[in-house]
Structure formats: C-alpha cells, structure tokens
Amino acid sequence: MPILITGGAGYIGSHMVKYFQENNEEVTIIDNLQSESMKIRSKWTIFLR
C-alpha cells in the first residue's frame, strides 16, 4: 500500500519513513526541507526540488 508522509525529512518523519521502508512499503515524502536536517539517508531516497 503506498504511504504518503509529510515532513518526512525531519526527526519524527524520518523514523516513520525508515519503519515503513523496512516493512517493504512504498513511501512518498513531501517536505519543504526548511530545517535542512536531511535525516533521511538511504539508497532508495530521491530528492526533487
């Protein structure tokens, strides 16, 4: 089931993304990257500007 996470590059959102990716879910993230923390680091993550 496709999952949409808003704020997925932040602390809480990145943990949610990691959880769903580990469970083989298709995850789409929307984030304005305002905090610039970029906590998500995986080979499956693609950032679009």
Task: Write the DSSP string, 1-49.
Answer: --EEEETTTSHHHHHHHHHHHHTT--EEEE----S-------TT-----
- For the chain, the structural domain boundaries read 1-49
Phi, psi of 37 (to 5 degrees): -75, -35
The model's pLDDT over 8-48, given as tens digits with 9 standing for 90+, comes to 888 888 889 889 989 999 888 888 877 666 666 566 666 66
Write down the pLDDT at residue 23: 93
CA distance 26 to 40: 15
